[in-house]
A and B are shown apart, each in its own frame.
Chain A
Amino acid sequence: MRRENLTLLSLLLPAGAFFGAFFLLPLARLFLVGASGEGGFAAYATIITDKNHFASLIATLALAAATTATTLIVSGLAGVFLQRNEFPGNAALVAMLTFPLAFPGVVIGFMVIILAGRQGLIGDISLALAGEKVVFAYSMAGLFMGYVYFSIPRTILTVMATAGKLDPRLEEAARTIGASPWRVMIDVIIPGLKPAFISAGAICFATAMGAFGTAFTLATRINVLPMVIYTEFTLQANIAVAAALSFVLGAVTWVVLVAARSAAGGTVAAAG
């Protein structure tokens, strides 16, 4: 038994060493650098006390929440539909919906520009229909659209995997006793998908909090926390503030994810 423990430990060693040297140590260093400014550790309070920083924190949280809600609704509807119905072209639709999975944030930003930018499709359509050119790519709305675009493929995969594991007999039973499709959805499908929604939603939220590429492509003036950090670091060379803000951003995002994970675990345990 002890020999086995030793073997397992030695298997863990390479990853542990890498992780310690390149993640834990740097993060600890970042924490100290965050306090290396004039105010010391008070720098960590500026995210609340500094009016601009606080405003961008709130804006980032609101954007992430809106992205998560929209993505879950859209992917939930489309994912369950595709998992449940066999029809010609089904596989092609699934491929299309999961295909942007590999797109980096910068490319998503460019897709938003193509859709809603100055030469974009939405602008052309609105010009033809209403005589007015609608351009919203370079604002918070454009960023929101980009984040939803980015999150749909990831979420839909999780939803479809979970929907495939749901026991169809439960739905059959519900229908047999006369439940409407709506009631089946509320009482059977959504509770069954809850763990998927929580875990995929948490990832959505975390990505929207910390993503940087899309905002970088669209406009540097969008007031979200990652852009503020980037500006502090590069343009102001204010490394202490950038470090403190990014440490706080990382902590907030991580706490949200852990909370969601334990919530998902809780429901799983309750169901079991």
Chain B
Amino acid sequence: MRRRGPIFLAQLVFTLFVCAFLVVPVILSMLAGLTVNYFVGIQSGLTLRWVGEVWSGYRDTIFLSIGIALACLACTLVLGVPTAYVLARRQNALARALEELLVMPVAVPGLATALALIVTYGAVGGFRTSWVFILVGHVLFTLPFMVRSVLAVLMAIDLKSLEEGAASLGASFRQRFFHIVLPNCRSGILAGALMVVTLSMGEFNMTWLLHTPFNKTLPVGLADAYASLRLEIASAYTLVFFLVIIPLLVALQVLSQPPRTKSRAKQE
């Protein structure tokens, strides 16, 4: 902080350049979605016409994506938090192997997982055509993020002494789990939830193969729009996606803020 020489400046310029690389296309695409004619440029005027067309044509995809993301969050909480707890309690080769196994759906490309699901359950009519089929893929893909996030917090605290202390006072397993374990891993659950919801909202690799024409999620609709519609509508659709995802991101980031600033303050 004391010496802000040329090195600081060079790093700052570099970082600003990286920021521009990430942010400029976002701003341009947002503008394109509000411009009457992008080829002519912004001087052709601003309009909400494209956003309106997207809303009337594609709003189902938005609601489906939000629904799947929330259902996915519920599933990963129910399946993931107990799993993380068990993995934290049992630090042996078997637990490590299980963790390795659980992370596989992230390592294995979504395309492969989706094909595997289709060749196995594709013939189960009602399942194949329902949104639950997409949900299954999303849960597989996001579960490791919840498990790892909770596990990281559980490993950082002295879980054993906390639980032994509670047990010696006569707390049952259920009491310990709900009153000791869960409150202690709140920050991990929040961070995991952030990842799960955002990843589910944006999942495309699997969803493109799992969806049916009646179950289009937001990213699937976007791919359709990019392939077949004019740039302005595609941009307006992207704008709608940003509008859905950004409040979600901000809300979840604010929720997960306190522990982070605390640990930062401690270091300084």
A29 within 8 A of B: yes
- A121 — which chain B residues lie within 8 A by C-beta? 24-25, 28
> Which B residues lie at the A interface, using CB under 8 A?
1, 7-8, 11-12, 14-16, 18-19, 21-26, 28-29, 32, 38-39, 78-80, 82-83, 85-86, 89-90, 98, 100-113, 115-117, 119-121, 136, 139-140, 143, 173, 198-199, 201-205, 208-209, 219, 222-223, 226-227, 231, 234-235, 238, 241, 245-246, 248-249, 263-264, 267
Distance, CA A14 to CA B39, complexed state (A): 54
Query: Are A18 and B119 in contact (CB-based, < 8 A)?
Result: no
> Which A residues lie at the B interface, using CB under 8 A?
4, 7-8, 11-12, 14-15, 18-19, 22-23, 25-27, 29-30, 33, 74, 77-78, 81-82, 85-87, 93, 96-97, 99-107, 109-115, 119, 121, 149, 152-153, 164, 181, 203, 206, 209-213, 216-217, 226, 229-230, 233, 239, 242-243, 246-247, 249-250, 253-254, 257-258, 261
- Minimum CB–CB distance from A227 to chain B (whole Å) comes to 10
- A14 — which chain B residues lie within 8 A by C-beta? 78-79, 82
- A213 — which chain B residues lie within 8 A by C-beta? 204-205, 208, 219, 223
Query: Are B82 and A102 in contact (CB-based, < 8 A)?
Result: no
Distance, CA A11 to CA B18, complexed state (A): 44
Distance, CA A8 to CA B177, complexed state (A): 11
- B115 — which chain A residues lie within 8 A by C-beta? 30, 229, 233, 239, 242-243, 246
Query: Are A26 and B117 in contact (CB-based, < 8 A)?
Result: yes
Distance, CA A107 to CA B245, complexed state (A): 12
A32 (CB) vs chain B CBs: closest residue = B119
- B238 — which chain A residues lie within 8 A by C-beta? 107, 110
Query: Are A110 and B222 in contact (CB-based, < 8 A)?
Result: yes
Query: Are B100 and A81 in contact (CB-based, < 8 A)?
Result: no
Q: Which applies to chain B's interface (DSSP): helix, strand, loop or mixed?
A: helix
Query: Are B198 and A109 in contact (CB-based, < 8 A)?
Result: no
Query: Which of the residues B22, B78, B105, B116 comes within 8 Å of A152, measured between beta carbons?
Result: B22
Query: Which of the residues A78, A82, A249 comes within 8 Å of B109, measured between beta carbons?
Result: A249
Query: Are B108 and A97 in contact (CB-based, < 8 A)?
Result: no
Query: Are A100 and B22 in contact (CB-based, < 8 A)?
Result: yes
Query: Are B112 and A249 in contact (CB-based, < 8 A)?
Result: yes
- A249 — which chain B residues lie within 8 A by C-beta? 109, 111-112
Query: Are B18 and A152 in contact (CB-based, < 8 A)?
Result: yes
Distance, CA A77 to CA B90, complexed state (A): 38
- Show 20 residue pairs from A and B whose CB-CB distance is below 8 angstroms, ordered by the A residue: A11-B86, A12-B98, A14-B79, A25-B120, A29-B120, A30-B115, A30-B116, A30-B120, A78-B15, A99-B22, A101-B249, A105-B205, A114-B29, A115-B25, A206-B107, A210-B109, A212-B205, A229-B115, A230-B111, A254-B104
